[in-house]
Amino acid sequence: MTSTPEHEVAVEDGGHLAGVPDEFQRLWTPHRMAYIQAGPEVLREDCPFCEAPKHPDPERLIVARGETAYVLLNLFPYNSGHLLVCPYRHIATYDQATSEEVAEIGALTQTGMRVLREVSNCDGFNLGMNQGAVAGAGVDAHLHQHIVPRWTSDANFFPIIAKTKALPQLLGEVREAVAHAWPR
């Protein structure tokens, strides 16, 4: 251990630790522990998409609010900037949405794509709605559309081999950039 003043944390010298140095990089993602500890089925008493609008925007990662729908960052994103567009109303499927909700979800999706292009220089998007648990919806009781930014160079082996996604930015930083760039 190196000697440090009282107000600093001691850092161990890696040269004296057990193990053999190798060519692997280590990806430390402690924020994922909340997701891992929740297990395969995240138990929720309240719908997270009904709860989010009741709180301050930064606290719940909301980047924009409309009349019938709002936009927030996905807490467990596929890529940095992964947005969700949700109606305020608690409905499960797209066919239950009113024409006003459909129009605003579409408009917010278009704006989200423009903003993500501006702040992250992405090359494309995956857009989609998983309707029902059987279709892969993590929150199947509340309709939400995914906007996943993609880059030509973002394909790698992490998701395939290690079920891991390398995210280059923290959620708070992404939320601030997207919310700041969102047209008023």
**Contact criterion met (CB below 8 Å) for 79 and 171:** no
Residues tagged active-site: 144
Q: Residue 178 to residues 40, 54, 56, 110, 173: CA-CA distances in angstroms?
A: 30, 20, 16, 14, 9
Per-residue pLDDT of the chain (184 residues; tens, 9 = 90+): 445 555 555 555 555 556 666 666 565 666 666 656 666 555 467 899 999 999 999 999 999 999 999 999 998 888 889 999 999 999 999 999 999 999 999 999 999 999 999 999 999 999 999 998 898 888 999 999 999 999 887 765 555 445 666 677 788 888 999 999 999 8
Q: Residue 124 to residues 50, 65, 180: CA-CA distances in angstroms?
A: 29, 24, 21
User: Structure pTM?
Assistant: 0.72
How far apart (Å, rounded) are the C-alpha atoms in residues 89 and 107? Answer: 17
